[in-house]
């Protein structure tokens, strides 16, 4: 029993009373733990998304952009990739406003020298020259370094007689900070892809979201097989620029991978989880199975009987 009791104080909430009470504090979620899917709007557990689902939304299949290193890890066999031309860095020939500082800051942030990683690796045991661009490095745009590295990779494929695979994510197209030097990379990389074609060495090009401008309009579109990830945006000028130029509304899904496949601009759309197997199969079909067949035929030819052992058969009728 209590001897004294205090009268309870009630707070009357009048209509005019300003809201004094703070809203109940939500438990703060540390940054990076959850990722919002831009397609279905659901909150996804980042660790689960990245480690178990290759950064593809497990509810709606939206393919998130991934950096070049993670892309390489998904595409090439562990412990097989050797990088080439890693130290190549671009000059600042135009002394473009803020360019040098921007590149330096991006370099520090991404740990990349420029927007592409090139090298030789194995895809399910099939050796190939691989180049992978990174959207995080100035939008994956092609300056003189990207152009030079991709060209050298294609030339290396030609010399070593290895198939080439490129993964592009060059949303910015040609890098405007390097002016004409960037534009020249379109011709240079295209010429290298052309030489590879003449030599009959396969080149598989994979488009990821987004591949636009000078990257889409040069080497990326010159592969023997053009593959895109679902929903990837691929094109030259952006849709807004086109609409303003032609004064018309663009059709639904314009410049998306599915639209381009329907209109014959792509050979296939491949889910990220099936990409490595698909590329390995294509490398077999276009190169390794062919080489194996030729070697088997050469072996079989060695077993051909001597002429005097051959019995003479009647000539078959024409067409037989
Ligand atoms: Zn989603």
How many angstroms separate the alpha carbon of residue 55 from the centre of ligand 1? 10
> How much is the pLDDT for 8?
66
How many angstroms separate the alpha carbon of residue 64 from the centre of ligand 1? 9
Determine the structural domain holding residue 139 and report its residue range: 66-298
Q: Which of 271, 273, 251 lies closest to 262 in space, CA to CA?
A: 251
How many angstroms separate the alpha carbon of residue 48 from the centre of ligand 1? 13
pLDDT over 90 at 290, yes or no: no
312 falls within a domain? no
Report how many domains make up the chain: 2
How many angstroms separate the alpha carbon of residue 93 from the centre of ligand 1? 43
Kindly report the number of other CB atoms within 10 A of residue 85's CB atom: 18
How many angstroms separate the alpha carbon of residue 137 from the centre of ligand 1? 25
CATH of the domain at 113: 3.90.226.10
pLDDT-derived band at 3, boundaries 50, 70, 90: low
Q: Going by DSSP bridges, is the β-strand pair 203-207/225-228 parallel, antiparallel, or unpaired?
A: parallel
Same domain assignment for residues 57 and 164: no
pTM of the full predicted structure? 0.85
> How much is the pLDDT for 96?
94
Give the integer Cα–Cα distance in Å for 90 and 82: 22
What are the tens digits of pLDDT across the range 121-163?
999 999 999 999 999 999 999 999 999 999 999 999 999 999 9
Mean pLDDT of 98-109: 95
How many angstroms separate the alpha carbon of residue 105 from the centre of ligand 1? 32
Q: Which of 89, 116, 83, 88 lies closest to 104 in space, CA to CA?
A: 89
What are the tens digits of pLDDT across the range 156-165?
999 999 999 9
Mean pLDDT of 66-95: 95
Give the integer Cα–Cα distance in Å for 86 and 113: 7
How many angstroms separate the alpha carbon of residue 232 from the centre of ligand 1? 15
Same domain assignment for residues 35 and 180: no
Kindly report the number of other CB atoms within 10 A of residue 2's CB atom: 5
> How much is the pLDDT for 27?
64
How many angstroms separate the alpha carbon of residue 278 from the centre of ligand 1? 24
309 falls within a domain? no
Which residue bears the tokens 């889409």? 216
Which residue bears the tokens 């004409």? 180
Same domain assignment for residues 59 and 85: no
What is the 8-class DSSP label of residue 53? S
Same domain assignment for residues 70 and 56: no
How many angstroms separate the alpha carbon of residue 223 from the centre of ligand 1? 30
Give the integer Cα–Cα distance in Å for 70 and 131: 13
Who surrounds ion ligand 1 at CB < 5 A?
37, 39-40, 57, 59-60, 62
pLDDT-derived band at 310, boundaries 50, 70, 90: confident
Indicate if the alpha-carbon torsion angle 230, 232, 235, 241 is positive or negative: positive
Same domain assignment for residues 38 and 146: no
How many angstroms separate the alpha carbon of residue 171 from the centre of ligand 1? 22
What are the tens digits of pLDDT across the range 173-207?
999 999 999 999 999 999 999 999 999 999 999 99
């Amino acid at each position: 029993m209590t001897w004294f009791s205090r009268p309870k104080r009630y707070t009357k909430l009048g209509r005019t009373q300003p809201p004094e009470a703070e809203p109940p504090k939500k438990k703060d979620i540390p940054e990076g733990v959850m990722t919002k899917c831009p397609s279905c709007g659901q909150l996804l557990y980042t660790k689960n998304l990245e480690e178990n689902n290759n950064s593809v939304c497990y509810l709606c299949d939206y393919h998130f952009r991934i950096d070049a290193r993670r892309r390489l890890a998904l595409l090439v066999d562990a412990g097989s990739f050797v990088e080439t031309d890693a130290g190549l860095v671009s000059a600042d020939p135009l002394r473009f406003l803020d360019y040098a500082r921007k590149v330096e800051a991006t370099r520090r942030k991404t740990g990349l020298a420029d927007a592409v990683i090139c090298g030789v690796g194995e895809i399910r045991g099939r050796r190939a020259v691989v180049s992978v661009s990174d959207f995080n490095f100035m939008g994956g745009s092609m300056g003189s370094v990207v152009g030079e590295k991709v060209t050298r990779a294609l030339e290396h494929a030609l010399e070593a007689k290895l198939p080439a695979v490129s993964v592009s994510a060059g949303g910015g197209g040609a890098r405007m900070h390097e002016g004409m030097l960037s534009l020249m990379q379109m011709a240079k990389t295209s010429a290298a892809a052309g030489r590879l074609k003449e030599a009959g060495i396969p080149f598989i090009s994979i488009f990821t979201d987004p591949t636009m401008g000078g990257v889409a309009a040069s080497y990326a579109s010159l592969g023997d097989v053009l593959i895109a990830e679902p929903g990837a945006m691929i094109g030259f000028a952006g849709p807004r620029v086109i609409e303003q130029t032609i004064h018309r509304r663009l059709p639904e899904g314009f410049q998306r991978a599915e639209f381009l496949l329907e209109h014959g601009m792509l050979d296939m759309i491949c889910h990220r989880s099936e990409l490595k197997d698909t590329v390995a199969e294509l490398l077999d079909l276009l190169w390794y199975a062919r080489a194996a067949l030729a070697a088997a035929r050469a072996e079989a030819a060695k077993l051909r009987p001597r002429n005097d052992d051959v019995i003479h058969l009647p000539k078959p009728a024409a067409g037989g």
